[in-house]
Structure 1
Amino acid sequence: MSLIVALVLLVVAVTSAWTIDRSLRGARWVEAAPGRALMVWHLAAISLGGGVIAAGALLTHDVLEHVMFRATGVSEDELHRVYAGGVELSPLWNATAAIVLAGMGVLVFHAAVATVTTSRSRRRLHEALEQNVTTAADGCDVVPSERLYAYCIPGNARRRSRVVISTAALQVLSTGELAAVIAHERSHLRRRHHRSIAAAEVFTRTAGPLRILPSYGAEVRRLVELEADDDAWHDAGRMSLARALLAMASPQHPSGSLAMGASATGERIHRMLLTPQHDRRLTSVLVVLAVVAAVIPPATIGLPALYLALGA
Structure 2
Amino acid sequence: MMVPAVLLLLGALTAVLAPRLLARAQWPEREPVVALWVWQCVVAATLLCLGLSMLLSAAAAWQAVRGRLFAVAPHGVVDAYALGAAGGRWATATAVALAFGGLWTGAMLTREVLRARARRRARGAELLLRAPLLPGEEPGASRLVVLEGPRPEAWWQPGAAPQLVVTTAALGRLKGSQLDAVLAHEQGHVAARHDWLLHCSRALSRGFPQVPVFAAFEAEMHRLVELAADDVASRRYGRLTIALALVGLNEDRGAFGPCPAPQTHVSLRVRRLLSAAPRLSAGRRLRLTALATLVPAVPLLVTFVPGLSALA
TM over 0.5: yes
Of 142, 145, 148, which aligns to 1:144? 148
2:109 aligned with 1:74, yes or no? no
What amino acid sits opposite 1:142 in the alignment? V
Match of 1:284 in 2: 286
**Structure 2 equivalent of residue 128 of structure 1:** 126
* 2:157 counterpart (142, 153, 157): 153
Question: Match of 1:272?
Answer: 273
After superposition, where does 1:1-312 map in structure 2 within 5 Å? 3-25=1-23, 27-61=25-59, 62=62, 65-70=66-71, 73-74=72-73, 78-87=76-85, 89-133=87-131, 139-155=143-159, 159-249=160-250, 264-280=265-281, 281-301=283-303
5+ residue gaps, structure 1, are 253-260
Between the aligned partners of 2:219 and 2:35, the Cα distance in structure 1 is 13
Q: Secondary structure at the match of 1:165?
A: strand
SS at structure 2 position matched to 1:175: coil
Do the aligned partners of residues 68 and 149 (structure 1) sit closer, same or farther apart at CA in structure 2, a change above 3 Å counting?
same
The AA in structure 2 aligned to 1:152 is W
Q: 1:196 to 1:251 in 2, by over 3 A?
A: farther
CA deviation after TM superposition for structure 1 residue 215, in Å: 1.5
Measured after TM superposition, the shift of residue 162 of structure 1 is 2.2
Amino acid at match of 1:242: A
1:152 to partner: Cα distance? 1.0
Q: 1:88 to 1:214 in 2, by over 3 A?
A: closer
Q: Root-mean-square deviation (CA), in Å? A: 2.9
Would you say the 8 A contact 1:197–1:217 is kept in 2? yes
Gap change, CA 1:55 and 1:189, over 3 Å in 2: same
Distance 1:132 1:26 in 2: 46
Shift of 1:297: 2.5
Partner of 1:255: none
C-alpha distance in 2 between matches for 1:130 and 1:91: 58
CA-CA distance at 1:250 after TM superposition: 7.2
Which residue pairs with 1:258 in the alignment? none
Contact 1:134–1:144, Cα closer than 8 Å, also in 2: no
Deviation at 1:109, TM superposition (A): 1.7
Cα distance change of structure 1 residues 294 and 107 upon mapping to structure 2, 3 Å threshold? same
The 2-side partners of 1:300 and 1:37 are apart by 25
When normalised by structure 1's length, the TM-score is 0.83
SS for the counterpart of 1:29 is: coil
Q: What amino acid is the match of 2:48?
A: G
TM superposition shift of 1:187: 0.8
- Structure 1 SS opposite 2:278: coil
Distance 2:211 2:94 in 1: 18
User: Structure 1 residues 107-116 or 218-227, which shifts more?
Assistant: 107-116
Percent of pairs with identical residues? 25
- Give the paired residue count: 294
Query: Is residue 149–residue 168 contact of structure 2 (8 Å, CA) maintained in 1?
Result: yes
How does the TM-score come out when normalised to structure 2? 0.83
Q: Give the Cα–Cα distance (whole angstroms) in 2 for the partners of residues 88 and 25 of structure 1.
A: 39
**1:52 to partner: Cα distance:** 1.2
Q: Which runs of 5+ in 2 are unaligned?
A: 134-139, 254-261
Give the counterpart letter for 1:247 in structure 2: G
- SS of residue in 1 equivalent to 2:145: strand
- Kindly indicate whether the alpha-carbon contact (under 8 Å) linking 2:156 and 2:164 is maintained by their aligned counterparts in 1: yes
- 1-side partners of 2:185 and 2:18: how far apart? 28
Q: Report the CA distance between 1:120 and its aligned residue.
A: 0.3
Aligned CA distance change for structure 1 residues 19 and 96 (closer, same or farther; 3 Å)? closer
Q: Which runs of 4+ in 1 moved over 4 A?
A: 134-138, 302-308
CA contact (8 A) 1:60 1:93 kept: yes
